[in-house]
Chains A and B, each alone.
Chain A
Amino acid sequence: MAPDALAVLVFAPLVAALAVIVAPPRATTALALAGIALTAPALWVVTAAVLGGEVVEVALAGAAPPLGIAWRADGFSLTMAWLTFVVVAFVSLHALASFPSTSDAGRRFWPMWLILVASVYALFLSADLFNLYVTLELVTLTAVAMIAIGGAPAAMRAAMRYLLLGLMASLFYLLATALLYGQTGTLDLYQVGERLGEGALATTALALMITGLLVKSAIVPLHVWLPAAHGKAPGPVSAVLSALVVKVTLYILIRLWFWAGGALDDGLAAFVLGLLGAVAIVYGSIAAIVQTRLKMLVAYSTVAQLGYVMLLFPLASTAAFRAVTFHVLAHGVAKAAMFLAAANLLAALGSDRLQRLVGADQRYPVNVLAFALAGVSIMGLPPSGGFVAKWMLLEAAWQSQGWGWVAVISAGSLLAAVYVFRVVALAYAQPRPASSVRRPGTTPRGRFGATSVAALALAVLAIVLGIASAPVLSLIDLGLPPGMAP
Chain B
Amino acid sequence: MSTEVVYVLAASAVFGAGVYGLIVANHLMRKLLALNVMSSAVFVTMLTVAGTTPEGPDPVAQALVLTGIVIAVAATAFALALLVRLVQETGLVSLRAKDDDGA
Contacts and interface: CB of A to CB of B under 8 A. Distances in A.
Given A160-B83, A160-B86, A171 B39 contact: yes
Contacts of B51: 182
Contact of B79 (A163, A177, A182, A187): A163
Nearest to A167: B35
A175 B39 CA distance: 9
A168 interface: yes
A151 B89 CA distance: 9
B71 interface: yes
B83 A179 contact: no
B103 A167 contact: no
Contacts of B99: 154, 157-158, 161, 228
A174 B64 CA distance: 10
A159 B82 contact: yes
Contact of A178 (B28, B32, B45, B101): B45
Contacts of B103: 154
Using C-beta atoms within 8 Å of the partner chain, give the interface range for chain A. Answer: 35 or more
B38 A168 contact: yes
Contacts of B22: 164, 168
Contacts, number: 99
B10 interface: no
A167 B49 contact: no
Contacts of A145: 78
A148 interface: yes
B95 interface: yes
A361 interface: no
A187 B89 CA distance: 43
Contacts of B102: 154
A167 B73 CA distance: 12
Contacts of B64: 130, 181
A153 B87 CA distance: 9
A206 to B, nearest CB: 15
Interface string A107-140: 0000000000000000000000010001001000
B36 to A, nearest CB: 10
Contacts of A177: 46
Contacts of B50: 178, 181-182
B35 A175 contact: no
Contacts of B31: 164
Interface string B83-103: 101100110000110011111
Interface of B: 15, 18-19, 22, 28, 31-32, 35, 38-39, 41-42, 45-46, 49-51, 60-61, 64, 67-68, 71, 74-75, 78-79, 82-83, 85-86, 89-90, 95-96, 99-103
19 contacts: A134-B67, A148-B85, A154-B103, A157-B99, A159-B82, A160-B83, A163-B75, A163-B78, A164-B32, A168-B19, A168-B38, A171-B18, A171-B38, A174-B42, A178-B45, A181-B46, A181-B61, A181-B64, A228-B99
